[in-house]
Structure 1
Amino acid sequence: MNTKLNKSDWTILSIIFILNTLFGCIDYYKEGNKLIEYLVDFPSSILFTIVIILVFIQRIVPAFLVHKKAYFLFAISSLVLLTFFGTIDNIFGRLSAGSNLNSITNIFTFIQKGLYNATDMVGLPLGILLIKKFYEGQQQLVETQKIQKENELKLLRSQIDPHFLFNNLNTLDSLIDTNPIKAKEYINRLSLIYRYLIKTKDAEVMELANEIEFAKNYIFLIKTRFADDYEFTIEENIALVDKFIPTGSILTLLENVVKHNKTDGTNAIKTTLTINEGWLIITNSKSKTKSTNESFGTGLDNLKARYKLLSDEKIQIHNMDTKFEIFIPIIELSS
């Protein structure tokens, strides 16, 4: 469940608060309540309701349901939250009505009423929000399944892509005659690439270290095939332990470089892969000559869609005059 309130969530809450305030004012008018009660009771009730909803959705649910499945702690935390703010709201109500807190004869009953009061305040808006979040989660689940299936099909097709295979066989054919030792290395790297694609076809995310090793094999093929047309540098500024990215992400980004940039024969296309805290960045120089190479893999649009389901962070793309830069978030999975 997405634990952040979006624009439509706040719109729904605003409508509920306006209606509740309107009906509440009618009841206060019939009961002859004082002006100070209007000015204190309704704003405080709205404020406490918002606080309860935010704490419940953004703190309690992720902490005890999403990650730990601690249902008992979830129930206790929810009751404490409701009781605390409901009691505070009751205190505000008594003070605005001119009642003295010393007149409270039974603290237990007063606190119990606070729980009932908070339940009454939060019940409708929180219920509507949770139903909305559930519906959005179901839509997201369907979209996830659809995208995952598309990814599997594209990755399977990439393993037998005739253009990819044909180009590499041509390169291999020339190496066998000119450089047999390098030809053996080329065959080894090519087999590692296909083995990796087959092994990871069902994995949504993969360890960054594995993706980097895969990228090195793919870069070897590019460098062998195109000689000095492309230059690659990998800068690892952080440890790669417990860091993940969507499977095939680096492949997609490297393909994007080769697909959209072809050297003019004078200046090589320089690409730097930088791993910083939280981000993997690929920066490449741009050429005006377009490559005719066909790419295989998921594509940038598909990678963006996968990230919407895996991370709160979004892919950042900076298309400048002389260089093209893509930031993809590094994912740290919760235990």
Structure 2
Amino acid sequence: MRLKRYSRKEPLVFVWVMAPYVVIMNMVIYGACIWRSLAAFASTFFSSVLYFLVIYLVFGMVAVLIRTRIPAGSDLFRRISVMLPVFYIMNIGSVAGLFELSSRLSFVVCDIKPHMYWWAVLFGCILSTAITFINEGMANWEQWKDSLAETEKLRNAYQRSKLLGLKGQINPHFLFNCFNTLSGLIGENEAEAERFLDEMSRVHRYLLRNDDELLVPLAEELKFARSYLHLTEQRFGSAIAASVNIDPELHGCGIPPLSMQVILENIIYTNAISKKNPLMILIEAVSAQEIAITHSVFEKTVVQHMQVEEGLDNLLNKYKLLNAPPVMIREDGEHRTIVLPLFDGTNLPA
């Protein structure tokens, strides 16, 4: 079983601290005897190193346990105020154990000085305090660097999602399918052809919008979704059945722009569509903070537009960047549900 470390630099701290700690501790409990001969120094030094190695591991496990219980960076002083008293009590026991061990080891040629016990405890407590602050500093430094790296990673993912959105704006496949459907409607139903052209204009106007905003009103996304679904239903006919059921009270909530484009394209391009097995799509509110997009599952064997899956991954990363609750994806084999958290006046990011 691999022991958990308080920080990645903890072994380095141990190496740099252990040798001087053992030498000074031995000077306290044995006095000048350790310098009388090489045998005296070696016997006391190596016995103490082995003993304090075990003690250090025990201290480390206790520190990790306390950090697990009080993990927040903002709780630094609370965490230290718990650790130090525990370590001081442990130092009393560990120094007592060293005195007892030294008196029983026949190869240790120096005699311990019982009257130096509390001085040894004091030195142990001082060094425990120093090591605690060093390890806390290392751990918080690593946490800060990891946070910067994660933020940069998410920012890159966000920029990539904008690029994927731009690709979707000028997707020649989508344009070709729209114009092909429009061409058929012109000869059959001019009124429907005119409406199709209006919806197509709304879709492309929204796709060409400035994507610099982190959030847009849910109402705008739903307008896009209705227009997009109308174009899709005209193209596939009864092979698609879609509906939108969102309370108007939620229309003022925020949502990342082009979220619906990413999800609806993912649904259309990753599922086989046929009149025999119509693709059902339902957009509805599941609470005052979430909406859900549920669809039936008829997965294609081969997905030609691989960027639709990448687009969904980038939408998940965009929510992470906004420090929002995660996007939930649930699937039972027949239906798949994507739950998007909403932003309102109390949880909009700064």
> Which TM bucket (shorter chain)?
0.5 to 0.7
Question: Over residues 277-330 of structure 1, what are the superposed CA-to-partner deviations in whole Å (9 max), with x where a residue is unaligned?
Answer: 344322211236669885876622332333443346444433433223333444
Aligned to 1:71: none
Question: Over residues 7-30 of structure 1, what are the superposed CA-to-partner deviations in whole Å (9 max), with x where a residue is unaligned?
Answer: x9x63349849977x959967787
How high is the sequence identity, in percent, across the aligned residues? 21
> CA shift at 1:258, angstroms?
1.4
**Aligned counterparts of 2:306 and 2:7: Cα–Cα separation in 1:** 47
Which region of structure 1 is more displaced relative to structure 2, 10-19 or 228-237?
A: 10-19
Aligned to 2:231: 221
For residues 70-109 of structure 1, the aligned pairs below 5 Å read none
Match of 2:338 among 302, 326, 329: 326
Match of 2:212 among 193, 199, 202: 202
Residues 18, 214 of structure 1: CA spacing in aligned structure 2 closer, same or farther, 3 A cutoff? same
Per the alignment, in what secondary structure is the counterpart of residue 317 of structure 1?
Answer: strand
Aligned to 2:33: none
Aligned to 2:115: none
* Residue identity matched to 2:205: R
**Aligned counterparts of 1:175 and 1:135: Cα–Cα separation in 2:** 58
Does residue 302 of the first structure (1) align with residue 314 of the second (2)? yes
Per the alignment, in what secondary structure is the counterpart of residue 329 of structure 2?
Answer: strand
- Name the TM-score, length of structure 1 as normaliser: 0.64
Does residue 281 of the first structure (1) align with residue 281 of the second (2)? no
> CA shift at 1:269, angstroms?
1.2
Question: Over residues 109-164 of structure 1, what are the superposed CA-to-partner deviations in whole Å (9 max), with x where a residue is unaligned?
Answer: xxxxxxx9998465322321232123223323432343233223322222222111
Does residue 11 of the first structure (1) align with residue 32 of the second (2)? no
For residues 205-284 of structure 1, the aligned pairs below 5 Å read 205-236=215-246, 239-240=249-250, 243-277=253-287, 278-284=289-295
**Aligned counterparts of 2:304 and 2:235: Cα–Cα separation in 1:** 12
Aligned to 1:50: 67
Aligned to 1:147: 157
Q: When the two structures are aligned, how many residues end up with a matched partner?
A: 287
Aligned to 2:109: none
Larger Rg: 2
**Aligned counterparts of 2:187 and 2:332: Cα–Cα separation in 1:** 42
> CA shift at 1:196, angstroms?
1.6
Structure 2 residue runs of 5 or longer lacking an equivalent are 30-54, 96-125
Question: Over residues 212-257 of structure 1, what are the superposed CA-to-partner deviations in whole Å (9 max), with x where a residue is unaligned?
Answer: 2221121111122222111113333694266433322222221122
Which region of structure 1 is more displaced relative to structure 2, 180-189 or 250-259?
A: 180-189
**Aligned counterparts of 2:143 and 2:206: Cα–Cα separation in 1:** 37
**Aligned counterparts of 2:297 and 2:65: Cα–Cα separation in 1:** 54
Per the alignment, in what secondary structure is the counterpart of residue 282 of structure 2?
Answer: strand
* Residue identity matched to 1:11: R
**Aligned counterparts of 2:261 and 2:204: Cα–Cα separation in 1:** 12
* Residue identity matched to 1:210: E
Say whether the 8 Å CA contact 1:273–1:280 is kept in structure 2.
yes
